[in-house]
A and B are shown apart, each in its own frame.
Chain A
Amino acid sequence: MFLQYIVDVLSLGSLYALFALGLVLVYGILKLVNFAYGELVLVIGYSIFLLKGSPFPWFFMAGTAILMSILFSIFTDYVAFRPVREKSVTAVLITSFAFATLLQNAALLLISAKPKNVPMPSFLSDSVQFLGVITPVRNLISIFVTFLCLIIFYQFMKRSTLGLAMRAAATNFNMTRMLGIPANLVITSAFAMSGLLAGIAGTLWMSKIANVFPGVGLEPLLIAFIATVIGGMRSVHGAVLGGFILAFIDMSFNYLLPQDILKFRDVFTFSIVILILLIRPQGLVKGPATGIRT
């Protein structure tokens, strides 16, 4: 029972952590929340849906979808951020919401308001049993893929010059530019990596919910946002930690709450979130000594 609980928390938490990490990457550098972030999951879902029936193997479809997610993430920068970046925080807030709405309505108009089935290989839903734990294969894959991503991500941020430049830019963007590091390179890389992480997490998410609809991006956005707020918006460690904590809270209520109250789970979850923020308004992990956006 306890092991089952651990596996459940870890598999959900790994998804949440990836979503949160992708969001905080852009926030760290621009000090702006990308509210069109959730739409990357929409892009993932519809990409796989539209490739349905093509002769390509599923992994190729998923790879294409993740590539689309990266491209859309970079595209978000170009249409919603770059034109108004220098102007004001409010402007970017509105443009990124507008871009999200645009994508949702495009899906509504061009495809359908109804949920569409997203094909997934059947082995993902097969159950495996070990040490008394019964869990679908996709949960174990989520955990494995996430830990792999985190290791690669941390190594990249530590060892590569671009990774160092991105960390430096998150601390002091202007100083980074004064060292000859192009602002646009750093920002585009952040959006691309954000798109990659959201793409991987989005594909795993799709394997869970198995269908896509115009509003599909809202929940991942909310998850990522809350996880980063809990963990601390200035730190990538915080985002990862926040993701796992949020999953821990969610899953605990799944186990604890009686069946007829379970549908109100979010009320309980958010109460805990509020409680955490009352005690630590800056989030659990203190990030690098960065200024706020001016």
Chain B
Amino acid sequence: MKMLEINNLQVNYGPVIAVKKVDLFVNQGETVVLLGANGAGKSSTLLSIAGVANKLLGKVKFSGKDITKFSPEKILTLGIATVPENRDIFPDLSVKENLVLGGYINRKKNNILQDTIEEVYNLFPILSERNSQVAGTLSGGEQQMLAIGRALMSKPKILLLDEPSLGLAPTIVEKIYEHIEQLKKDTNLTILLVEQHAMKALSIADRVYFLRLGEIVSSGKASDLKEKTDFKKIYFGE
């Protein structure tokens, strides 16, 4: 069943067209990866699903419903949570406070809020140790975990994950991906992942789309593409 579907998406920032034409879909329970070089339009695609980028053309559908014109807050309540590229945790708030805000839509249901915080702490035990620490003082890897944990607080149906490997040391990237795999196993969460780090992303993906200069240039099963695809062409052009 198609959970998320994007048709003919075009995104622009003023005169600059960031996404020319993107068609993709994500089935329930799948992990789909959007690969591409810097500036290919990956993040813009993700942000337009989340409702914060300017959509010029095209349609975004979630569970069959047209959500193209929905506000970011409305989109979150439907079950789409975003971990943006720069993690965008709130540096002046504590770890706990960041998580509490992530669970904003459940703020009135205290027991759900508490349980979800427990779940996040189980997934990322380091966050529970840092509970009352100001988030800005966390290491890069910990901030990434916090950003993911914060997104999970809304109990999403699909997680939009933008470059979790960005700016992190290889061993930390390894760890983050272990956590993501654990998360998939535990919850069967649907994930749309954006990465530059192709090999890492392919290792957890079911299907892949390649994005180049704002357009999808190829797609397929992750297991097939891993061997066949000429990555150089995707990243550096012909």
Contacts and interface: CB of A to CB of B under 8 A. Distances in A.
A176 interface: yes
Interface string B123-167: 000000000000010000000000000100010000000000000
B88 interface: yes
Interface string A164-204: 11011001101111111111000000000000000000000
B72 interface: yes
B71 interface: yes
B90 A178 contact: no
Contact of B88 (A164, A172, A183, A288): A172
A181 B101 contact: yes
A289 interface: yes
Nearest to B160: A178
Interface stretch (B4-12, B17-25, B91-99, B188-196): B91-99
A175 B88 contact: yes
B73 A182 contact: yes
B76 A175 contact: no
Interface in B160-215: none
Contacts of B82: 178
Given A167-B93, A168-B90, A289-B91, A180 B104 contact: yes
B92 A165 contact: no
Contacts of B91: 171, 288-289
B88 A161 contact: no
Max chain A C-beta neighbours (<10 A), residue from B51, B84, B92, B102: B92
Interface string B50-85: 111000000000000000000111001100011010
A277 B73 CA distance: 39
A174 B101 contact: no
B100 interface: yes
Contacts of A176: 101
Contacts of A177: 51-52, 71-73, 76
Nearest to B107: A161
Contacts of B90: 167-168, 171-172, 175, 288
A48 B72 CA distance: 42
Contact of A183 (B73, B81, B102): B73
Contact of B92 (A178, A183, A288): A288
Contacts of A168: 90, 93, 101
A46 to B, nearest CB: 37
Contacts of B37: none
Given A178-B50, A178-B82, A179-B102, A164 B72 contact: no
A178 B80 CA distance: 9
Given A177-B72, A178-B72, A178-B82, A161 B92 contact: no
B105 interface: yes
A162 to B, nearest CB: 9
A176 B90 CA distance: 9
28 contacts: A161-B104, A161-B107, A164-B97, A165-B104, A167-B90, A171-B90, A171-B91, A174-B52, A175-B90, A177-B52, A177-B72, A177-B73, A177-B76, A178-B76, A179-B101, A179-B150, A179-B154, A180-B73, A180-B76, A180-B77, A180-B104, A180-B105, A181-B101, A183-B71, A183-B72, A288-B91, A289-B91, A289-B136
| 4 shortest interchain CB distances as A-B pairs | A180-B76, A177-B72, A175-B88, A180-B105
Given A171-B91, A177-B52, 8 more contacts: A161-B104, A167-B93, A171-B92, A174-B72, A177-B71, A178-B50, A178-B73, A288-B90
